[in-house]
Amino acid sequence: MKQLFTLFALLGLTYTLAAQDLVKGDLKSMLSGGSFVVNDIASYNVVESKQTGFAGAMSEQYARFEKWYKSSTEEQLIKMTDHASGVVRAYAFWGLVKKESSFLREIRNAHMDDDEIIDTTNGCVMEKVTVAQFMDRMLKGTILGGGR
């Protein structure tokens, strides 16, 4: 009986340690890719400039974006231009503009038919545009205060 208890205890401990390693690996991966911030950006579902509203208050959504793009590599941002959320795709492209990526035209061309409509806010001006239009206007510097 004592041996059976010891066997179950060892199996339980092994399972627990393996699960902890898996969670740590997943957490490390999520943190390095900014998954938590990306989920918040996608949930809020609006592309905002630095200041929004009549008073020009600092946008929490923009703060999330800024934290995300600054901690992301160019490769991570490029991958996120294919995210399920149009807002995340737009912010990923904006991050690449800010990082002065050499792949901007190529990415824009890949999204020329991206017709998902997203809401944008610049100050107190709200607008609906497609992701493709957002990318075009970001390249031209004619959306959200020029984008840079």
- Tell me, what amino acid is at 2? K
Average pLDDT over residues 106-117: 97
Average pLDDT over residues 122-126: 89
- Tell me, what amino acid is at 93? F
Task: Identify the pLDDT of residue 112.
Answer: 96
Give yes or no: residues 25 and 43 share one domain: no
- Backbone CA torsion sign across 99, 146, 86, 62: positive
pTM of the model: 0.75
Task: Identify the pLDDT of residue 66.
Answer: 94
Q: Do 46 and 120 meet the contact criterion of CB atoms below 8 Å apart?
A: yes
Give yes or no: residues 84 and 49 share one domain: yes
Please provide the average confidence, as pLDDT, over all residues in the chain: 81
- In the chain, the number of structural domains is 2
Q: Do 94 and 120 meet the contact criterion of CB atoms below 8 Å apart?
A: no
Grouping H, G, I as helix, E, B as strand and the rest as coil, residue 30 is helix
Average pLDDT over residues 82-98: 97
- Expressed as residue numbers, the domain containing 11 is 1-32
Task: Identify the pLDDT of residue 100.
Answer: 95
